[in-house]
Amino acid sequence: MNKIPIDTAFDVRADSKGRDPDSSSPTLQKYHKILWSKELPNGKLFRLDDTKDNAYLYHNSELGEFFLASDSIVHTYFKWKSTQNIISQIPKNEMEQFYNLAHTIGGYVIFPGNRVKGQNTINQARGMSKAIKDRIDLTLECIRRHYVDEDSPLADTLKRYSDFFDLFLDFKGYCEFFLLQDLATTDFENVKYFLPFTDFTGNQMPKTVEEYQLYMHNNIRFISSRNSRISEYIQELS
């Protein structure tokens, strides 16, 4: 069998020419296409195309038409002014490890990238929401609630893309498809949060050195575990 070329240690900044890897790294795009072109929970094949004009990745079949975009799901807040005092107290080597690991394939996922009726995409909405602050654990809680028809800060946004989420049938199917199991409990009834959950109230950013270290540790553990899952999945395909 041919070995499928995915290196979970590859830093996708390496071939993005100083730009945003989500849109500028050919390797990241290739990895997304390989990983997420596969059978859906309903048994249908979700094959992604990277040749359509003005589309990052594209799918069109009886399942529907989908324009997908890459999204970094691990936020270090490394360049945020509000966290500079905290981050300056974290050992430099620990920050470098976190920042570098965040730029491996385990730190990325795909979401629908097309605007619906001129409204924000999922990527934009979760980045702008004060209740989410670009955190994937809180985003995933919103997705979990979407599947059980509960309200969340992203409820309206996710409903606009319900055809995409319907592909995975339920929260378990979504997590297993995108290899996000390490952010959910084994019964998929709850999300494992990077920081104590406050039901989307208050400031969702780490507010102390201790909170940031907890946030960083849990992110590193998640990315490392997801990279391991990706490697195991690729080995099964090879």
The DSSP-derived string for 74-94 is: ----TT-GGGHHHHTTS-HHH
pTM: 0.96
Q: Where are the domains of the chain?
A: 12-237
Coil, helix or strand for 181? Answer: helix
Q: Which residue has the higher pLDDT, 43 or 238?
A: 43
Q: How high is the pLDDT of residue 1?
A: 45
Count the neighbouring beta carbons within 10 Å of the beta carbon of residue 49.
13
How many Å from the N-terminal Cα to the C-terminal Cα in the chain? 6
Q: How high is the pLDDT of residue 52?
A: 96
Nearest partner of 31 among 102, 110, 97, 99, judged by Cα:
110
Tens of pLDDT, residue by residue over 71-113, are 999 999 988 888 999 999 999 999 999 999 999 999 999 999 9
Residue 19: what residue type? Answer: R
Instruction: Calculate what percentage of the chain has a pLDDT beyond 70.
Output: 98
| Helices marked H in 155-208 | 155-160, 162-166, 171-177
CA angle 196, 197, 202 (to 5 degrees): 105
In the structure, what pLDDT confidence band is assigned to residue 215 with cuts at 50, 70 and 90? Answer: very high
